[in-house]
Amino acid sequence: MIREVFGLSSWQLLVKGAAMTLLLSIAGVVVGTVLGIFGGIIRTYPSRVCYALRPLVWLWVEVFRRTPLMILMLLSYFGLAHTGFVVPPLLVGLLAVCVYSVAYMTENIRSGIEAIPKSQWDAGLSLGMNSWHLLVCVIMPQALRISIPPSIGFMQSLVKDTSVATIIGLVELTHVSQLLRYRFPAAGFTIFGTVLLLYFIICYPLSWFGDHAERKVRRA
């Protein structure tokens, strides 16, 4: 029984599922970090453009941090199909994950920028730096450093959260576990135990690294 469950085709499925899980998480992290930096700047930087965009970013953060990723997936998949856009599930999954992670990363980056004392802005301005130069060369390097530990923590929880993408039919690790269960109904414990272990192998280094980074930042 066990030997059948762990045949070659099962492993191929598991590897494919893990690859999809990683693809979703990495896409979410990359898009989330890039847009999150812009979002964080918009929420803190004093300029007319940023003031204008601030309510929009605020709404984005407040709404998407209080919505389960699953509802975002369902909304963007079935909701979009309902309005006439038929989008392939992979694109929908990526869209939902990115929308979700941008909201969290914006919040992380913003708290990093706000942790920098106001006196640094005053000091830079009085040295004659213009404010963009000040932001890019003085504030952001320190702010990003502070926001690294919470961001790694978020990456780890994003890997876990992508498990809900199974609901729109994306073949990631969780979906694979269901497929294998249909194939071998009696081996539920083995199958889910294996998938649990695979998630652990992906997530544990991230959470260890996050704790390590937090200790390092706190000491500095």
Partner 1 sequence: MDVFARGAAVTLGVSAIAMLGGTLLGIGGALMRRSRSWPLRAIGLTYVNLFRNTPLLIQAYLIYFGLTGLVNLDSLSAAVIALTINNGGYMTEIVRGGMEGIHKNEIEAALALGMSYVQALGYILIPHALRIVYPPTVNQFVLLVLGSSVLSLIGLTELTCVARNLEAYTFRAFEVYITTMVLYILLAILSTLLLRAVGWNFYKGQKKVIRN
Using CB under 8 A as the criterion, which residues of the chain lie in contact with partner 1 when the complex forms?
62-63, 66-68, 70-72, 74-75, 78-79, 81-83, 156, 160-161, 163-164, 166-167, 174, 177-178, 181, 186, 188-189, 191-193, 195-196, 199-200, 203-204, 207
CB 11 → partner 1: shortest distance, Å? 18
Kindly tell me which of 186 and 220 has the beta carbon lying closer to partner 1: 186
Kindly tell me which of 122 and 211 has the beta carbon lying closer to partner 1: 211
Kindly tell me which of 41 and 168 has the beta carbon lying closer to partner 1: 168
Amino acid at residue number 82: H
Kindly tell me which of 26 and 144 has the beta carbon lying closer to partner 1: 26
CB 156 → partner 1: shortest distance, Å? 7
CB-facing half-sphere around the CA of 169: CA atoms within 13 A: 7
Determine the 3-state secondary structure of 85 from DSSP.
Answer: coil
Cα–Cα–Cα angle for 205, 199, 7, nearest 5°?
125
Q: Are 14 and 5 in contact (CB under 8 A)?
A: no
**Of 144, 136, 64, 67, residue with least CA distance to 104:** 64
CB 44 → partner 1: shortest distance, Å? 22
Q: Measure the CA–CA gap between 120 and 101, rounded to whole angstroms.
A: 29
